[in-house]
Structures are given as C-alpha cells and as structure tokens.
C-alpha cells in the first residue's frame, strides 16, 4: 500500500480484527471479506489477540489480499519483542506479499510494569523497520486528544514528531467524536513540522456497551451532542445502531467538507454497519456528481 496523492474524492479504509481461535477464523474471514468487498482503499488488520501474536493477523491479511484483491495494512506490536522475533515477522510479511505495517508498541501484558524487550517504544520499532526493511510503508498511531500515558500534551507531540522522523509514512488517529479535536490537533502538529498524511479514525458507536468500552480504552471526549443521542436512543438497540451510524456519517461528511479526503473507520468486524455507512455516504456524495 503506497500513499497516493490527493484525488479530491473521498476514500475510506476499514479496520478489522483477527479471531482468537482457529474455530473462529471462518466467520471472521467472511466478515472481513464482506467489508473488503466495499472497495476500501485498504483494510487494516489489528494484531492477534489472545496470545496468538501475528499468526491470525498475517493469515487474515493474506485472505483479504487474495480473496478480495484489496491492499492490507498489518498491525505489528513490539512490546516484549526481540530484534530476532521482529525480523522473523517482517520476513513472514514479505513472503506473504504484504508491504505495509502499522507499527505499534502494543498494550502491556498483565503483570508487566513497563516496556521490555529490544523495543521499549513504537519509535524503536519504526526505526528498526526503516533501517532494515526500507521497502515497507509504515504507519503510526496518534491521539488527537492526548495519549493516556503521556504526562502532558507537549511531551506527547514531541514523541509523535520522533516517530515521524524515524520513518512513519502516515499517521492514523485514535477514535474521536468531536471533529474540532482533530482539526486542532492537525494545526498543532503542522506547527512543529509534522507533514505526513493524518487519517482521522472514526468509530460508529452502535450500542451502549460499545460506548463504555470505547471510553475505557481510548479516554475519548464525549461531546454533549453525542451524550444526548445516547440518552435518547441507548435503550433501544436498533435505534441506537442507526443513530450511531448517522453520527459517524455526519462526522465523515464534515471532515470531507473541510478538505479531508481519506477517513479510517473502525468497523468492529460489522459488515452491515460498514455497508450502511458507505450507502449513506454514496447517497450524499453521489448527488453532488
């Protein structure tokens, strides 16, 4: 996956996650192929959960590329990893024909008090990939608000600049629910010399349970407008689903109207949600043709 120049049209990418077990692979594969069938610019596959590391991540990437013909972005985490193990993963990726990586530190396993291994932070992984395998396209993560572990915003931006200087080709943001946060973030990073593409990450919230998890994991700010939506529709499952999709579409339209031409959607492996977002966007943007 190479970062192409601006096209003055809206493009999208979707994120899916791999299964935790062999028995769950078939339904996840089916969902991922349905999502890939919506013709995204690429599909991002998160790092394997449940202690399976990269096994299912790389396998799902292969299925998407071969089964749907859509480029993939394989997540690769470095916490607790060695240079030898990362080198082996890079070799596996190349052998599978995957040329793009989302380089992340990863969550600390339970009981681990600090980063261990040869790569304490994502910047160390990015630098290693760029120095040893320069042919890869490398993505990095960023937080429009602030990384939960950062002591202050200035330090957070300084670290982000280090990641970009180490070799990031683009950045993808953590989910956010107020577009103003994204635009303020863009202004701040451009001021300090970060000029790579920054793809906004949008998560359609379709259930109250999902909201609770999203807030816990990302510490994302929930604007009053969004809280009112949840208060009004949260007790009705189908209504909350449709309202959450509508909110995400509204965010995407606002981003596009403000000059943002690529949006990354966290699908939670829900083809119907991804398809409905595409359908509503097509109806809006198609009427402009």
Q: Which positions ≥6 away from 8 have C-beta within 8 Å?
A: 261
Instruction: State yes or no: is 15 an active-site residue.
Output: yes
pTM of the complete model beyond 0.75: yes
Relative orientation angle of helices 55-68 and 25-36, to the nearest 10 degrees: 40
Can you give the pLDDT at residue 234? 86
**Domain regions of the chain by residue span:** 11-286
Cα–Cα distance measured from residue 65 to residue 97, given in angstroms and rounded to the nearest whole number:
9
Summarised one tens digit per residue, pLDDT across range 44-71 is: 999 965 445 678 999 999 999 999 999 9
Q: For residue range 221-256, what is the model confidence (pLDDT) as tens digits?
A: 888 998 898 889 988 989 999 999 999 999 999 999
Specify whether domain 11-286 bears CATH 3.20.20.220.
Answer: yes
**CB 115, CB 88: distance < 8 Å:** no
Angle between helix 83-95 and helix 55-68 axes, rounded to 10 deg: 20
Write down the catalytic residue from 15, 34, 65, 145: 15
């Amino acid at each position: 996956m190479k970062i192409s120049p601006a096209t003055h049209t809206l493009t999208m990418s979707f994120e899916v996650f791999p299964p935790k077990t062999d028995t769950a692979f078939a339904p996840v594969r089916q969902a991922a192929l349905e999502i890939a069938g919506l013709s995204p610019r690429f599909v991002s596959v998160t790092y394997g959960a449940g202690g399976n590391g990269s096994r299912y991540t790389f396998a799902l990437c292969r299925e998407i590329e071969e089964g749907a013909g859509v480029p993939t972005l394989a997540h690769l985490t470095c916490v607790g990893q060695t240079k030898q193990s990362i080198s082996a993963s890079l070799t596996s990726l190349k052998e599978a024909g995957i040329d793009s990586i989302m380089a992340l530190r990863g969550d600390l396993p339970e009981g681990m008090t600090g980063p261990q291994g040869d790569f304490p932070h994502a910047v160390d992984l990015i630098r290693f990939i760029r120095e040893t395998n320069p042919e890869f396209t490398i993505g990095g993560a960023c937080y429009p608000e602030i990384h939960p572990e950062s002591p202050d915003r200035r330090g957070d931006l300084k670290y982000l600049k280090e990641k970009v200087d180490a070799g990031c080709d683009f950045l993808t943001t953590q989910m956010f629910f107020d577009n103003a946060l994204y635009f303020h973030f863009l202004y701040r990073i451009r001021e300090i010399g970060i000029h790579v593409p920054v793809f906004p990450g949008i998560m359609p919230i379709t259930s109250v349970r999902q909201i609770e998890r999203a807030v816990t994991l990302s510490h994302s700010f929930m604007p009053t407008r969004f809280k009112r939506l949840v208060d009004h529709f949260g007790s009705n499952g189908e209504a909350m689903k449709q309202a959450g999709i509508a909110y995400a579409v509204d965010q995407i339209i606002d981003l596009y109207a403000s000059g943002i031409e690529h949006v990354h959607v966290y699908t939670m492996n829900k083809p119907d949600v991804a398809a409905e977002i595409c359908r509503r966007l097509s109806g809006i943007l198609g009427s402009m043709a």
